[in-house]
Amino acid sequence: MKMNIVQLSDIHVGTQFREKVFDTVLDEVNALKPNAIIVTGDLTNEGLIKEYEKCKELISQLNAPKIIAISGNHDYRNTGYLVFKKYFPFETVNELDKDVVVVTLGTARPDRDEGEIGYRQNLWLERTMKKYEKKIKILAMHHHLIGIPDTGSDRVTVIDAGDVLRTILATNVDLVLCGHKHRPWIWTFKNLSVVNAGTTSSERVRGLFENTYNIIKIENKKIHVDLKIVGGKRIPLENIVKNYTRFGEE
């Protein structure tokens, strides 16, 4: 069984949006014919209705059997939290096939930049993941679970990351997909990978100064993640970690 999942993130339709870049994304992703597309939040820049309308129209041009779009802190600005699900309805538990399940967490809170899982949602996550013990378990959330390099002074994260990390390890989650930092990165632990997407189409790139998205390939129960530069090359995401140099160093 072979499966391709595309992770788009931080589209930011609004003032920082690069429309031409997103047009290229539409062509590239549709040519891949992915089994599912997961958008890990910040679909809009300010949570405004006109941004939601435009983003919905753009997302509708993507072709995949399953499109899962979750909210980010930017989507929750200006009472955007009241309309997100109207524009982007999604299920919190998605069985992609008999081997793979994608579970989503809501981390955005109205008019706040930091994220939170919350006690109840964390309990729910534990119960849900336990049901899928034998499957490949993917968890998608907007805010990053673990800090990443070159984003030092920014303290905005999930305030209860420790609680959810414990749940993730206790239930053998295989892969966590995060957005928010606009900085592609992968942390690989023993049985867990935590993947951060860059920004697909916002001007606010960080660390790697190109718009990117991730392609997750699952084959024979093995997960492999590639970074795709929009209009450019496709490389293993782990190369970003291997080839890391501090700014200004050779």
Here the tokens at position 47 are 């949570």
d(CA 140, CA 125): 12
Q: Among residues 10 and 174, whose Cβ is nearest to Fe ion?
A: 10
Q: Among residues 107 and 193, whose Cβ is nearest to Fe ion?
A: 107
Which region, left, alpha or beta, applies to residue 138 given φ > 0 means left and ψ of -120 to 50 means alpha? beta
Here the tokens at position 123 are 């309990």
**Least distance in angstroms from the C-beta of 74 to Fe ion:** 6
Here the tokens at position 20 are 């031409």
Q: Among residues 157 and 167, whose Cβ is nearest to Fe ion?
A: 157
| CA distances, 126 to each of 64, 142, 156, 162, 176 (Å) | 28, 18, 24, 14, 14
Three-state DSSP class for residue 15: coil
Dihedral sign (CA 71, 72, 76, 80): negative
DSSP 79-115: GGGGTHHHHS---SEEE-SSSEEEEE----BTTBSSB
d(CA 62, CA 49): 21
Q: Among residues 55 and 136, whose Cβ is nearest to Fe ion?
A: 55
**Least distance in angstroms from the C-beta of 151 to Fe ion:** 12
Q: Among residues 34 and 179, whose Cβ is nearest to Fe ion?
A: 179
Q: Among residues 4 and 73, whose Cβ is nearest to Fe ion?
A: 73
**Least distance in angstroms from the C-beta of 145 to Fe ion:** 13
**Least distance in angstroms from the C-beta of 200 to Fe ion:** 10
Number of Cβ within 10 Å of residue 81's Cβ equals: 18
**Least distance in angstroms from the C-beta of 71 to Fe ion:** 10
Q: Among residues 40 and 121, whose Cβ is nearest to Fe ion?
A: 40
| CA distances, 2 to each of 147, 172, 174, 202, 220 (Å) | 31, 21, 17, 31, 7
**Least distance in angstroms from the C-beta of 51 to Fe ion:** 13
**Least distance in angstroms from the C-beta of 129 to Fe ion:** 24
In the complex, the residues that contact Fe ion under the rule CB under 5 A are 10, 42, 72-73, 180
**How many Å is the Cα radius of gyration of the chain?**
17
